[in-house]
Amino acid sequence: MKFLVLLISFTVFVFSQVIGLADLAVLVSKDIGKKVVIADNLNASDYQIDLDLSSEYNLGELTDIFKTYLVQNDLSLIDHGDSWLVIKNNYTSKSAVLPKLPVAPDAVKKHYYMYRIQHITNEDVANVLSIFTDELGEPIKYIYLKQSDMIAYAATPSMHTKIKKMLSSSDNSVLQRKIKISFFTLDSSKLSEIGSDIEKLAYSMDFSFTGLVDSLLHNNRVTLNSSDTGTFKFLLYALESRGVAKIYHEPTLVLTNGVKTSLSYVKNIGYKVSTTTVKENIETTKDSIKYRDVGFQMTILPKISDDWIFLDLNLISENLIAMQDNVPLTQKISYHSKVKVYNDRPLLLSGLKKSSQRTETNAIPLISSVPLLGSFFKFDKKDHSSQTIYILIEVI
């Protein structure tokens, strides 16, 4: 520890030295080429300064240090042409010569600028500004003016030119497009039962419905011609009337390029939850009702072009299978796909299976209500069904 203290002291001694005002005046005289004189009534030994003599000072730097020291110690510097005189401030009414503060050139001065947002959001503008930094590496400071939909920021002229150029090139009209999404299911077993009837109807319209379904089973996606879309939807409505198909939802959405859109079609399933607590040997049971969302939930992230829309789809399908002990049992399926839908070429997607189970209890009246004996006169009938979920996407 003593060695460390000695080392630190030695370092300070080597690189920093206390010199008097008279010695500093001699150094300044050499720095500016003009003699610096200390007034006779001023005791120069009363003034000392710590100066790093190991550093190399540029021309004029010692003079600036000298002037700053005089100001801090209530001293003044009087210019007598070929010499300078150091005096106390109360020695004469003549004011001291103070060093001028450096003035930053206009190129590095910060100015305030305004940008009026045309089409993009203020978050988009903030993202553009976030990639710029000032000369110190600090982020550009800005504020969003909500009422006028403008961004105010501080920057140098050269930085402002770059910011304005980037904002102008990105603040274009936002692309939007309408699409229609149809969610429906087909019961394959029922479809096979009436397959010949529906195929006859489709054949009369020069369309193969079952061929389309078979194609979906192998490819999970089929592109329709614009001329076939109307026929397909007509047959779909006909199947719904026969109980073979069920159309759940047919919303029309307005998509904005690069903006995520959410869609949900759910039902709230209520169920009772009993909570039992025991306090001071007293048992208390409290019933409450909870709800669970069952149905479709979809998010869409679009990229829009003139001839097509690229869709990043995330679909969650949660289906109620049965109620067990008054608690809903559900089947949850997640589906993620990236598809391109062309104008006048609707896209049909499949691949999601929906399962359900229904339990029906049959009993002989009166006898079935007799304790113990009645259980022999009751029987449950369970019905399992499996359906395929289809999604039809049309660009409108």
Query: How confident is the model at residue 196, as a pLDDT?
Result: 59
Residue 365 has pLDDT above 70, yes or no: no
Instruction: Average the pLDDT over 264-293 and give the result.
Output: 79
Q: Is the pLDDT of residue 391 over 50?
A: yes
What value does the mean pLDDT take over residues 303-323?
87
Distance of CA 190 to the CA centre of its chain: 46
Position 300 scores a pLDDT of 95
Nearest CA-CA partner of 220 in 296, 300, 304, 313: 313
**Per the structure block, which two tokens stand in for 102?**
């450096």
Backbone phi, then psi, for 386, in 5-degree steps? -135, 130
Contact 312/388 with Cβ under 8 angstroms? no
Kindly report the average pLDDT of the chain as a whole number: 76
Q: What share of the chain is helix, strand, coil (3-state, %, to 5)?
A: 30, 45, 25
Q: What is the per-residue pLDDT for 343? A: 92
Could you tell me the pTM of the whole model?
0.52
- Tell me what the mean pLDDT of segment 63-86 comes to: 83
Distance CA 244, CA 184 (A): 11
* Domains defined for the chain, CATH in brackets: 17-88 (3.55.50.30), 107-171 (3.30.1370.120), 181-395 (no CATH)
Instruction: Report residue 227: phi and psi, to 5°.
Output: -70, -25
Q: Would you state the pLDDT for residue 92?
A: 47
* Residue among 388, 268, 262 at smallest CA distance from 320: 268
Place of tokens 């949900």: 264
pLDDT, residue 302, reads 94
pLDDT tier at 5, thresholds 50, 70, 90: very low
Place of tokens 């002037």: 67
- Report the C-alpha gap between 245 and 222 in whole angstroms: 18
How does pLDDT run across 177-234, given as a tens digit for each residue? Answer: 999 999 888 877 777 777 656 666 555 555 566 666 666 556 678 888 877 788 888 8
Task: Work out the average pLDDT over 279-295.
Answer: 80
Residue linked to tokens 């959410």? 262
* Alpha carbons 264 and 293: distance in angstroms, whole number: 10
